[in-house]
Chains A and B, each alone.
Chain A
Amino acid sequence: MRLNIIVLAKQVPDTRCVGQATMRADGTIDREALPVIINPDDMKALEQALRLKELHPESTIQVLTMGPSRAADVVRESLFRGADGGYLLSDNAFRGADTLATSYALATAIGKMGEYDIILCGRQTIDGETAQVGSQVAERLGIPQVTYAEEILHVREGHLTLKRHIDGGTEIVEVPLPLLVTVDSSAASCRPRHAKLLMTHKHTDIMAWNATDIKADITQCGIVGSPTRVKDIETIVPTKKESRVIGSSDEEIENLMVELFG
């Protein structure tokens, strides 16, 4: 069986590296100062795709990412791990997009990529954490979605079976192809780069598409196509309580416990 698999992946600032050096004087984060990585859940989506390809070796994996030119690394890193190709969607017209405008651009690009059976992406990104784009792409394409997937179990007779997380447990669902799957952070981690593939693809050019290439309706892209606006951003100064500072000596801890529970 030959499956056409598309993986959606995003380059994000590594929010785990937030520290003194990346803080501005006003207490906000200097995003530019953070290193960039591929969104961790998206890497897990790539791993699920690679496993499917191992089961069905004739399958192809295409990666689609959107961002500035440096985001081409997302596709390249995927090639190093066994993806077959990919595209970078990059245009000033896409800037400032909320999830609705982002999903419009991605779905439009997917339309240009051709036939697909399975679209995989991470459940959410670490910079936005909305977990919305996957569902919205599926809606745009008019295909079923399965969110919070932990493991793809098998593909048989035009149906995919997978295990997914729900509140308080897990369930196993069966869905007809084509479909979109968002992969949960509980899924298996992505394999490391393959040394041979790294050599092969080190200098591979990544195909870049702009808004015209995918025939996007500019009024639905970027900030123009985004229903939501940021009204204001407020720095929170934690409400100062009358804190009592104490040391860690036996006596001080004993007094505290008497005060709390005595």
Chain B
Amino acid sequence: MNNLFVYIELQEANRVAEVSLELLTKGRSLSHELGCQLEAVAIGTGLDDIAQQVMPYGVDVLHLFDGAELYPYTTLPHAAILTKLFEEEQPQIVLLGATAIGRDLGPRVSSALRTGLTADCTALAIGNYTDEKTGKNYERILLQMLPSFGSNVVATIVNPEHRPQMATVREGVMQKEMVDAHHQGKVIRHEVKDYVTDTDFAIKVIECHIEHAKHNLKDASVVVAGGYGVGSRENFDLLFDLAKELHGEVGATRAAVDAGFVGHDRMIGQTGITVRPKLYIACGISGQIQHTIGMQESAIIVSINTDPSAPINAIADYVIIGRMEEVVPKMIKHYAQLLHR
């Protein structure tokens, strides 16, 4: 009882999503610190291969709900299962990916359990909290950290009185790490019909269209990113030229995406993709925390900006003061020369 639970998201019918493995890794270290067990919940159709994928991450108990119509994901049966399971098991912490599924499922379940949910956390830790009004101390609770909107502040959110403490975490924010390839935890196969009713299957998926990713921004070793300062779609073409030359990918800030310079799927930052390339070239990016949180672990950061006081310059290894329209073509030219030397 009172363990830490991770919702296992499935990418295809029987493949565990990366974000779930990242959460198991984080969950493992948090549960160790708390002296509780790490439990995982997988819901789908044909789940025989799930155990071997999650056990190496140190799962103590895996709950399987294997039944017809549980894949592809729909809200109501998954929410009904989690709600009832958590009422029975009384977890102290529940973690979900901040994916389309996690952000649909999490609030439904937290509302049903009348507890709190913190969205899009970028760090989780165990710590203490004192309620200033009542003077009451809460020991070893979940500290949920996330950047606050539009400014360089990070808020730490706690949920002192209600259980479970629930949080969603973006893919790529935590690092996954196997603990033991031969670890064997307990597997519990639940009777699905004890957890769902016919009305839970009211939503029918008629058609599903998955587009193959147009790019591999997440794993690119070179990222050329543009902000609002790039100024236009045409200037973004220059970034694509440079990325092509360097065998990298193009990323963008939210402001650049909102301005329509480039597609939403290339957004880097708190509500986008997290990247850790060897080289990050930031063009016309001011460096709001919502963006830097998604790229600050890049090995080398180059900033091209006309503003010497742009916040991003403080975390950059190289700061080029100048207009990207001039600098980027020069980078392309000199890189090509370097190759042919």
Contact with B along A225-250 (1 / 0, CB 8 A): 01111111111111111111111101
**Contacting residues, chain B, for A244 (C-beta < 8 A):** 317-319
Query: Which of B129, B149, B154, B162 gathers most chain A CB within 10 Å?
Result: B149
Q: Are A248 and B320 in contact (CB under 8 A)?
A: yes
Contact check, A100 vs B108: say whether CB atoms are below 8 A apart.
no
In the complex, number of A-B residue pairs with CB atoms less than 8 Å apart = 238
**Interface pair B319/A243, CB less than 8 Å apart:** yes
B292-317 at interface with A (beta carbon < 8 Å): 292, 300-302, 308, 311, 313-317
Contact pick for A144, options B75, B154, B279, CB 8 Å: B75
Residues from chain B with Cβ under 8 Å of A192 in the complex = none
- Chain A residues lying within 8 Å of B155, measured Cβ to Cβ, are 230, 232-234
Of B21-29, B32-40, B57-65, B99-107, the one contacting chain A is B99-107
Contact with B along A139-178 (1 / 0, CB 8 A): 1100011111000000000000100011111111111100
| A114, CB-defined interface residue at 8 Å | no
Q: How far is the CB of A185 from chain B (nearest CB, A)?
A: 8
Q: Check if B152 is an interface residue, CB within 8 A of chain A.
A: yes
CB-nearest residue of chain B to A107: B111
Stretch of B43-51, B117-125, B172-180, B182-190 that contacts chain A: B117-125
Q: Which of B86-94, B229-237, B326-334 contacts A (4 or more CB under 8 A)?
A: B326-334
* Cβ of A223 to closest chain B Cβ, rounded Å: 10
Docked-complex contact A132 and B327, CB < 8 angstroms = no
* A147–B309 CA distance with the chains assembled, in angstroms: 40
A11 within 8 A of B: no
Q: Which residues of A contact B110 (CB under 8 A)?
A: 100, 132, 136
CB–CB B315/A231 < 8 A = no
Q: Which of B114, B131, B150 is in CB contact (< 8 Å) with A18?
A: B150
Are B153 and A235 touching (Cβ within 8 A)? yes
Range of interface residues on B (Cβ < 8 Å): 35 or more
Residue B284, interface by CB 8 Å? no
- Please measure, in the bound complex, the distance between the C-alpha atom of A173 and the C-alpha atom of B205, giving whole angstroms: 4
CB B247 to nearest CB in A, in angstroms, measures 11
Known: A235-B152, A244-B317. A135 touches B322 (CB 8 A): no
Known A100-B111, A132-B107: A231·B317 in contact at CB below 8 Å: no
Please tell me if the beta carbons of A131 and B103 are within 8 angstroms of each other in the complex: yes
Stretch at the interface among A41-49, A59-67, A251-259: A251-259
Interface contact A173-B111, CB-CB below 8 Å: no
Kindly identify, within residues 136 to 178 of chain B, every residue whose CB is under 8 Å from any CB belonging to chain A: 143, 147-162
A174 cross-chain contacts in B, Cβ below 8 A = 203-204, 206
Known: A173-B204, A241-B315, A256-B320. A135 touches B111 (CB 8 A): yes
A237 to B119, CA, bound (A): 23
Minimum Cβ distance to chain A for residue B109 (Å): 8
Q: In the complex, which of the residues A132, A145, A170, A229 contacts B75, with contact meaning CB atoms closer than 8 Å?
A: A145
Q: Are A261 and B115 in contact (CB-based, < 8 A)?
A: no
CB <8 Å contact, A29 and B151: yes
Say whether, besides A173-B203, A230-B156, A132 and B338 are in contact (CB < 8 Å): no
**Known A136-B110, A140-B111, A261-B338: A171·B289 in contact at CB below 8 Å:** no
* Nearest CB in chain A: distance from B86 CB, A: 14
A200 near B: Cβ within 8 Å?
A: no
Contact B319 A176 (CB under 8 A): no
Selecting from A75-83, A121-129, A203-211, the interface stretch reads A121-129
Decide: B119 and A129 in contact? CB cutoff 8 A: yes
Per-residue CB proximity of A13-30 to B under 8 Å, as 1/0? Answer: 001101000010001110
> Are A100 and B150 neighbours in the complex by a CB distance under 8 Å?
no
Would A240 and B314 count as touching, CB distance under 8 A?
Answer: yes
- What are 22 of the A-B contact pairs (CB < 8 Å)? A15-B149, A23-B151, A99-B117, A127-B149, A128-B149, A132-B117, A135-B106, A135-B107, A147-B100, A147-B104, A166-B101, A171-B206, A174-B204, A175-B203, A176-B202, A227-B161, A233-B156, A234-B156, A238-B314, A241-B301, A241-B314, A243-B319
The 3 closest A-B pairs by CB, nearest first: A248-B322, A227-B116, A135-B107
Listed in ascending order, the chain A residues whose CB lies under 8 Å from chain B are 15-16, 18, 23, 27-29, 98-100, 103, 126-136, 138-140, 144-148, 161, 165-176, 185-186, 226-248, 250, 252-254, 256-258, 260-262
A140-B111, A172-B207, A243-B318 are known contacts; what are 13 more A-B pairs with Cβ within 8 Å?
Answer: A100-B111, A126-B149, A127-B149, A129-B119, A129-B271, A130-B120, A131-B103, A136-B111, A168-B213, A171-B208, A228-B159, A238-B152, A247-B320
